[in-house]
Amino acid sequence: MLQTLIPLFVDALASAALIFFVAVGLTLVFSVLRVLNVAHGSFYSIGAYAAASLGLWIVSAGLPDWLTFPALVLSAAFVALLFGPLVENTLVRWTYGKSDAVQVLVTFGLFLILEDLQKMVFGVQSLYQDTPMSMLGITELGGIVYLNYQLLLIVLAGVVLVALRLFIGHSRTGRLIAAVVADREVSQALGIDTNRMYTIAFTLGVFLAALGGAMATPTSGVSPGLGADTMVLAFAVAAIGGLGQVEGAAIASLIVAVAKVLAIYFAPEFDAVAPYVVMLAVLLVKPYGLFGSPTTRRI
């Protein structure tokens, strides 16, 4: 029994960790900007391409292999700083106050542009960069060999969750963002630069998506189409957890990962649909997700 449960548990946690990075970014952006950003998945894939490219350059330049670790985070930060303020200040800001349909269409248009842009910049062939994974070695758990890098991802997801909660609850910028989320008009009346808060929140969301993509590269390939797959899964997670709920995204990531892992272990034919069956079941019972509500506005 334990021989089956341990791999299930480890696989679910490792899978949930990667989903969490993207889903929490999506839900953060929604909770602050009230914009459902369809282009969010593109930032995941751009982060993956940037990390793989930088890692490949480090290796080919003969630089120390350990540099490929900071390269993962630096790539995500670079993508966030490049795209976050630019996209929020131009396209996304233009959609504030407009209908949901306009917001979805604009961000979907951006998604299509970014997908083609990736092909132009990074080419259409798959990229592989697994130096960080190779450096960390392996561990045997329950008779199954796991990569230590997978275990690192689980720890990192926990660190990001705690850091995000501390940032929002205990930093000045985080509290200002929370105030804007609670009531934009009152925040403006109190002198809070709401536009700046929007830019910061959007950039942080882009960073989390890009970080997810970057952290995924050592254990997977990067190729065109990665963004679309990730985006759909992130939406399912955000819907299950309740749009705008940070802890909800974490728990929903775990639920989705458990559903996927159980399907792969016991009913592989349902692997692709398992997350969406769970989403459907949750939304039928709780239309605003497990932790969402129609009135509450908080993160």
Partner 1 sequence: MRLTSITGTALAAAMVLSTTLSGTSLASAEEKPESLNVGVFTFMSGPAAAYGMPGRQGAEIMIEQINAAGGIGGVPIKASFVDEAQGAQGVISEYRRLAEAPDTDFMIAALSSGNCLALAPIADQMKMPTVGWNCDTHQLFKDGAHPYFFRPNGNTVAEFMSYVLYFLDKNPNVRRVAIINPDYSFGHDAAEIVKATLAALNPGVKVVAELYPKLGASSYQTEISRLSAARPDVIFSNLWGGDLENFVRQANPRGLFRQSQAVFALGESSMQNVEMPQGAIVGVLGDGWWRSPDAAKRGAPAFGAAYKAKFGQDPVFPAMKMANSFVVMKAAYEKAIAKNGGEWPSKDQVRDALEGLSIDTLTGHVTIRPDHDGIVDQIVGTVTKVDGIDAPVLGSMVRYSGDKVLPPAGDDPVAWISSLTPYFPKDMPKPGSYR
| Residue numbers at the binding site for partner 1 (CB under 8 A) | 3-4, 7, 10-11, 14-15, 18, 119, 124-126, 128, 130, 133-134, 138, 143-147, 150, 216, 219-226, 229, 260-261, 264-265, 268-269, 271-272
CA angle 231, 237, 243 (to 5 degrees): 100
Residue 120 phi/psi, 5-degree rounding, is -70, -40
Burial (Cβ within 10 Å: 0-12, 13-18, ≥19) of residue 143 = exposed
Q: Min. distance of Cβ 169 from partner 1 in angstroms? A: 33
CA angle 86, 88, 93 (to 5 degrees): 130
Q: Min. distance of Cβ 15 from partner 1 in angstroms? A: 6
Rounded to the nearest 10 degrees, the angle between the axes of helix 226-241 and helix 246-266 is 110
- CB of 47 or CB of 174, closer to partner 1: 47
- Which residue from 251, 205, 255 is spatially nearest to 231, judged by alpha carbons? 205
- CB of 13 or CB of 76, closer to partner 1: 13
Q: Min. distance of Cβ 112 from partner 1 in angstroms? A: 13
- CB of 140 or CB of 185, closer to partner 1: 140
- Which residue from 72, 77, 71, 98 is spatially nearest to 216, judged by alpha carbons? 72
How far does Cα 33 stand from its chain's mean position?
Answer: 17
- CB of 31 or CB of 217, closer to partner 1: 217
Q: Min. distance of Cβ 196 from partner 1 in angstroms? A: 36
Q: Min. distance of Cβ 23 from partner 1 in angstroms? A: 16
Which residues in 269-299 are b (16+ Cβ under 10 Å) and which e? eeeeebbbebbeebeeeeebbbbbeeeeeeb
- CB of 145 or CB of 284, closer to partner 1: 145
Q: Min. distance of Cβ 83 from partner 1 in angstroms? A: 21
- CB of 40 or CB of 260, closer to partner 1: 260
Handedness of CA 61, 207, 97, 235 (dihedral sign): positive
